[in-house]
Structure 1
Amino acid sequence: MATITVRYFAAAAEAAGRDQEELTLVGDGPAPTVGALRAELLERYGAPMAAVLRSGSFLIDGKVSRDDGRALGAVVDILPPFAGG
């Protein structure tokens, strides 16, 4: 189990109704994964967050990831899709 800081930007912040929160997640291994965070966010925020996560990404330790098996860091940014990129 680990507590992480999740920071939301643009449409992700709108879907969550906040800019940031602390979440405690249970991991399958030594640390929770992107997949565990994705599942928690979908359960908490439903369809609005699903729309963001469908084409958005996770920023973990300065690296963009969509890999559900990747371990999370202490701070994870939820980024919506960006135009032109």
Structure 2
Amino acid sequence: MQLTIRYFAAARAAAGTDSTVLEVADDATLGDLEAVIAKDNPDLERVLERCSYLRDSIALCDRTVQLGRCETVDVLPPFAGG
């Protein structure tokens, strides 16, 4: 499936881009996605350890859960303030 990954704040800085489009397997988990987007980028890998995610605007926390059919995953590092 084709998936748009949108990066915010520290994740955007570490990724070096606002967003990217990837082809991922239909049975990919959140952990699989993290491995793909952090490949060859240790800075992003460190940021992803602290991130939360939105799958088509719905929170996704368990890295072992399959993404399922979706279009967008937002990568949200912890934000200061409120």
Q: CA–CA distance in 1 between the matches of 2:47 and 2:58?
A: 18
Runs of 4+ in 1 over 6 A off after TM superposition: none
**In the alignment, which residue of structure 2 is the partner of 1:38?**
34
Aligned residues: 80
Structure 1 length-normalised TM:
0.79
Aligned-pair CA distance for 1:84: 5.0
SS of corresponding position for 2:38: helix
CA 1:24–1:51: 2 relative to 1, 3 Å? same
Q: CA–CA distance in 2 between the matches of 1:13 and 1:62?
A: 18
CA RMSD between the two structures: 1.8
**In the alignment, which residue of structure 2 is the partner of 1:15?**
14
Letter in 2 for 1:63: I
Give 1:59's match in structure 2, choosing from 50, 54, 61. Answer: 54
Q: CA–CA distance in 1 between the matches of 2:46 and 2:57?
A: 23
- Identical counterparts, % of pairs: 39
The answer on 1:78 being equivalent to 2:72 is: no
| Structure holding more helix per residue | 1
CA 1:25–1:44: 2 relative to 1, 3 Å? farther
Q: Which consecutive unaligned segments of at least 5 residues does structure 2 have?
A: none
